[in-house]
Every structure is written in C-alpha cells, then in structure tokens.
Amino acid sequence: MDATLKALFDAADHAAQKAYAPYSNFSVGAAIRTASGHILSGCNVENAAYPAGTCAEAGAIAAMIAAGETKISDIAIVGVKSNPCYPCGACRQRIFEFSDAATRVHLRDGATGEAITHSIDALLPHAFGPRDLA
C-alpha cells in the first residue's frame, strides 16, 4: 500500500479508537481524503436510544462539510474487531452524495492487512442521487 493510502487508513484507525460504541462493542472509523487533499475523519457514536446512534462515515462526512469541502476522493473504513468493514446501505448513499465516478472506497482485508478498493458505483449500483433531482 502506498504512503498516501496508509495515511488515510491511519486516520481511520485513530478515529476508530475514539468510537463510542458501548452497546454493540463494534467500533468503526472512517477517514475521507477530499479532492483538495485534506483528511477528515469520524467514528461511530451510539446512543442509549439505539436508532439515534450514528455511523463513522456519517461523522467523517459531517467533518468534511464543516471544513467546507464537498468532494470525496477516497474514503477508508475500518472496524476495530472485524475487517473488511463494508459500509452499511445508508452510508453507501451518504458517500454517493459526495462522490463521482473516480471516488474510491477502501476497506481493510482482515487476513492480509491490504486494502480492498471499490468504486462507489460497485457498492451502490443504479443509485438515486443529486442528478435525479436536477
């Protein structure tokens, strides 16, 4: 894995260590590299009222938007307990909103530690998105 991608996984790992996941004990971290090269990360934040919990990807996207950026170049998603940690359906939709055909979604192969990389189109084919409302 090249140094740029390793830095993204490092940011995702760091965020995952901060996750608040006392109910599932399943900590997740996500890190986005924006089109301009900034890295923004997030972790899952659970809640005693379970549906109020949020995913790591949602946190990373919120950080990206708060930083004034809207284009995901790459996103790395890691679980602490189990990898690969594929994004849930709702998070695939969240990622799609800020993606283009070149956006890459990186998971970690739990056996080798290497990256598994997909396009968002592969993860969410025939997506409904901003263009449908244009």
Residue among 82, 94, 83 nearest 124 (CA):
94
> Any contact of residue 88 with ligand THU (CB under 6 A)?
yes
Our CB check for ligand THU shows the closer of 28 and 63 to be 28
Q: Reply yes or no on whether 57 is catalytic.
A: yes
Q: Rounded to whole angstroms, how far apart are CA atoms 27 and 34? A: 23
> Any contact of residue 91 with ligand THU (CB under 6 A)?
yes
Q: Rounded to whole angstroms, how far apart are CA atoms 109 and 106? A: 10
| Ramachandran angles phi, psi of 59, nearest 5° | -65, -40
> Any contact of residue 124 with ligand THU (CB under 6 A)?
no
Nearest distance in Å: CB 102, ligand THU? 21
Rule CB under 6 A: choose which of 34, 41, 44, 103 binds ligand THU.
Answer: 44
Nearest distance in Å: CB 97, ligand THU? 15
Rule CB under 6 A: choose which of 16, 21, 63, 72 binds ligand THU.
Answer: 21
Q: Where does residue 91 rank: exposed (0-12), middle (13-18), buried (19+ CB within 10 A)?
A: buried
The secondary structure element, H or E, covering residue 9 is helix 3-17
Rule CB under 6 A: choose which of 26, 116, 118, 129 binds ligand THU.
Answer: 26
The secondary structure element, H or E, covering residue 89 is helix 89-97
List residues near ligand THU by CB under 6 A.
21, 24, 26, 28, 44, 46, 53, 55-57, 87-88, 91
